[in-house]
């Protein structure tokens, strides 16, 4: 008999988890409260598959900037000063992880590089069209201070196996001719890429169903429990409540993972860090010609961009510590539109769709992947701002953990043995 695993959460980590487990031979059920997969944080993010963005945030400068920007409504990093035990405990652990900044950055870069092989292979195998563009990512800097810090980060990324090169303002214009403004220099990572996370996740969810995964969409998880051999999930669907039983459970519920982990006897200090995006619809030829093909990351404003097909341009970023608030604030969206107008003045920004999502952040900025205290409980969550970038490798690792934990035969995924880290 196949072991039956339930995966809680239909975002990018939940769907990749279900896919990796199904390919390993498990019977899998995925539970998602929305009608479709990828309707929350995996809906309209920055679109980058960016090993070059592997630098963790646990750097002293983050604290300095956070204090400086606290009273500035449109700041790239905004902290609501209203006290909460969750927020303060998270910040305390964040500070405690500052000494691990270099090691965690290197480890994240390694994960991001390893993830590419799996994600690209899965997309090719399943025929998923997600507006994938392999044009690289260009980091841009307006002053020497930012550029010099990027040079130090580049050494850490190189230690993790990522090659990226410094470029002059002239080389930047050659890489992306549409970019306007004055810059000190940049760093270009040719191996990075971009795409539409919603299209990818939706396509992989369909592939999961072809592999026999049962998708219970529109099912709200009320509670979870485990006695070590049987896991139970209480769900509500169409007004009816039902309790389902499984051999094992995987929590991939994004910012809701902390609550579910507590019910299973585990502490998982995930905090919801809100990010914003705009999707600029460009039906006219002039805007399409004025929009960049190469993805950008502006370290000063903490904004990233992706070109999605011919007629969409995505700009995303900022970080807001404001609990589970999903309000789309005009004063947080305005800087994104202003940035487009300044850097790409030829784009018509009259047709802009704003969005906000909650990134599931761990204090050390590393995802939680592996077993819980109970023998049949597992986690794949807490990916923060690199959810899509890291999703394929953490799903691959998760499959190894579940196979080992439940005593199943470990099979190769795409010809590669599961990771045991």
Strands 4-8 and 248-251: parallel
Alpha-carbon distance 121 to 115, whole Å? 10
Contact predicate 333/278, CB 8 Å:
yes
**For tokens 């509500």, what's the residue?**
236
pLDDT tens, the chain, 421 aa long: 799 999 999 999 999 999 999 999 999 999 999 999 999 999 999 999 999 999 999 999 998 888 788 778 888 889 888 889 999 999 999 999 999 999 999 999 999 999 999 999 999 999 999 999 999 999 999 999 999 999 999 999 999 999 999 999 999 999 999 999 999 999 999 999 999 999 999 999 999 999 999 999 999 999 999 999 999 999 999 999 999 999 999 999 999 999 999 999 999 999 999 999 999 999 999 999 999 999 999 999 999 999 999 999 999 999 999 999 999 999 999 999 999 999 999 999 999 999 999 999 999 999 999 999 999 999 999 999 999 999 999 999 999 999 999 975 444 333 233 333 3
pTM: 0.94
Q: What is the DSSP string of 280-347?
A: EE--SHHHHHHS-SSEEEETTTTEEEEEETTTEEEEEEEEEE-TT-----HHHHHHHHHHHHHH-TTS
Alpha-carbon distance 31 to 35, whole Å? 10
Contact predicate 268/17, CB 8 Å:
no
């Amino acid at each position: 008999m196949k072991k039956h695993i339930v995966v809680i959460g239909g975002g990018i980590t939940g769907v990749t988890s279900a896919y990796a487990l199904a390919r390993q031979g498990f019977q899998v059920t995925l539970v998602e409260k929305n009608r479709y997969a990828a309707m929350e944080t995996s809906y309209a993010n920055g679109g980058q598959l960016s090993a070059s963005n592997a630098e963790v945030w646990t750097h002293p400068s983050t604290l300095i900037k956070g204090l400086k920007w606290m009273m500035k409504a449109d700041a790239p990093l905004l902290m609501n000063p209203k006290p909460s035990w969750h927020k303060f405990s998270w910040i305390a652990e964040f500070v405690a992880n500052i000494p691990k900044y270099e090691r965690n950055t290197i480890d994240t870069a390694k994960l991001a590089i390893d993830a590419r092989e799996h994600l690209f292979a899965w997309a090719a195998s399943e025929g998923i069209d997600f507006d994938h563009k392999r044009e690289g990512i260009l980091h841009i800097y307006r002053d020497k201070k930012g550029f010099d810090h990027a040079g130090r980060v580049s050494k850490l990324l190189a230690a993790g196996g990522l090659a990226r090169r410094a470029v002059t303002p002239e080389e930047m214009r050659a890489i992306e001719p549409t970019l306007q403004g004055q810059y000190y220099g940049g760093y270009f990572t040719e191996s990075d890429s971009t795409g539409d996370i919603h299209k990818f996740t939706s396509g992989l969810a369909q592939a999961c169903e072809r592999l026999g995964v049962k998708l219970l969409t529109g099912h709200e998880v009320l509670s979870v429990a485990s006695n070590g051999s049987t896991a139970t999930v209480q769900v509500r669907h169409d007004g009816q409540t039902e309790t389902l039983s499984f051999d094992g459970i995987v929590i991939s519920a994004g910012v809701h993972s902390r609550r579910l982990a507590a019910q299973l006897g585990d502490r998982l200090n995930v905090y919801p860090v809100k990010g914003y995006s705009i999707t600029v619809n460009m039906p006219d030829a002039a805007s399409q010609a004025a929009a960049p093909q190469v993805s950008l990351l502006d370290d000063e404003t903490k904004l990233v961009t992706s070109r999605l097909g011919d007629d969409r341009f995505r700009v995303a970023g900022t970080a807001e510590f404001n609990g589970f608030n999903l309000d789309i604030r005009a004063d947080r969206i305005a800087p994104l539109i202003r940035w487009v107008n300044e850097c790409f003045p030829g784009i018509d920004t009259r047709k802009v769709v704003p969005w906000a999502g909650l990134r599931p952040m761990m204090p050390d900025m590393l995802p939680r992947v592996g077993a819980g205290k109970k023998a049949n409980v597992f986690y794949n969550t807490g990916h923060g701002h690199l959810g899509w970038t890291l999703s394929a490798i953490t799903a691959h690792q998760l499959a190894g953990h579940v196979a080992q934990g439940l005593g199943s035969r470990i099979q190769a995924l795409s010809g590669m043995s599961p990771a045991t880290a």
